Structure formats: structure tokens, C-alpha cells
Amino acid sequence: MSVVQARGNWLFPMVLAIGLGAISFWLDRITEVKTVEIPLNPKEPKYQVEGISAQRFDQQGQLSETINAAAARQFPQQSVIYIDKPDMHLYKDGVDLYHITANQAQYFTDSRKVDLMDDVSWHKNAVNNEPEGQLNTSLLHIDTQTQSAKTDAPVKYQYGLSQGSSVGFEYDKQRGFLNLPARVKAIIYDPKKS
């Protein structure tokens, strides 16, 4: 009787362990999901959004940027977002400072640079003692990190009563630097001397 009782002490836990192991293996096999990654067509957008309207606020809760656009899309394995009819406003201390429009734009997500193309208009509102300004060109490269803008295309500009044109334009906001590199024609008006 002691042999049967000794065999029962180890036989039941072993059978239970083997049974639980078999159930675990069976459950693992029937719940295993096999995934197959299907490559996307690089000629078709991965994402496409119609009718964009967005706002960004600064740390004080004041409006800092708005963007409206007809559409935007991004293609597979690209870091570029293509934007149709961008219309942007940039604010400082809640005051509308710049209004920028174009027919097309490309936003490079890895570098945070923007290329505005085709009928680019950059309007600066008059603020404090600074006059109203306007810049028109066909292509403008903007680096949002360095707060600079440049183009090699012809530009027309107006700043207060001053106006002119140039082939090429470079502006660095942080340094307060403006360069008009070629074929500059300008009429400069100094309001302090009138």
C-alpha cells in the first residue's frame, strides 16, 4: 500500500504539469498571428489629407501660427510632405506679423525646412515703428531652425515706401542680415529725412 501511495504522490503532479504544458503549447499555436508586411506603392500617397486648418499656441497660450491648405500628402519612405495652396500666418505676442501664401509647398520633416513654390507671397504687417512689407517670388526656401529664407529666383519687394527687385534674396532674422546678390534695382525712401 505504501508503494501505491508513493507512486500517487509524484504521478498526479507530473501528469498535471504535462497536461498544462500541452494546453499551453496548443493555445500558443492557435493564437499565433502571422503578419505579412506588404510594401506600399511608392507612386501613391501613404497619407492624404484634404482641407487642412491648424493652429499652434506659444507657452503663454497666445496664438503663434496658423496654417490652412487645400490638401497635403506624404508618399511611402519619404520625409517630404507635399502641401497644396498653403496659407500661413505667423504671430508674435498674439499680433499677426506675417502672412505667407503659395500654390505649392514641400515640408521636409527631418530638417524642418520648407520650400514654397509658384506665386509665393510674403506679407509683413506694420508693427510698432516698422512699416508694412511685401515680397513676391516664384520659389522661397525657409529654414525654420535658423529662421532664414533665401532664393535664387527673381524677387520683387516693398518695405514701407521703399521698393525694388533683385535676382536672389537671402534673409537671416537672427543676425538681422539681408542680402540682394544680383541685378538689384531699388528706390529707397528714408522716412527720417522727409
Task: Report residue 135 as a C-alpha cell.
Answer: 515680397
Cα–Cα separations (whole angstroms), residue 64 to 28, 32, 85, 100, 107? 53, 49, 20, 14, 18
Whether 22 has a pLDDT exceeding 70, the answer reads no
In tens, the pLDDT along 145-194 reads 888 889 999 999 898 888 889 999 898 878 877 788 888 787 877 767 65
Has domain 47-193 been given CATH number 3.40.50.300? no
- Predicted pLDDT of residue 1: 44
What letter does residue 127 receive in the DSSP assignment? B
What letter does residue 130 receive in the DSSP assignment? B
Sequence spans of domains, the chain: 1-35, 47-193
Whether 34 has a pLDDT exceeding 50, the answer reads yes
Structural contact between residues 189 and 162, judged by C-beta atoms closer than 8 angstroms: yes
Share of residues in the chain with pLDDT > 90 (%): 25
Average pLDDT rounded to a whole number, residues 39-43 = 80
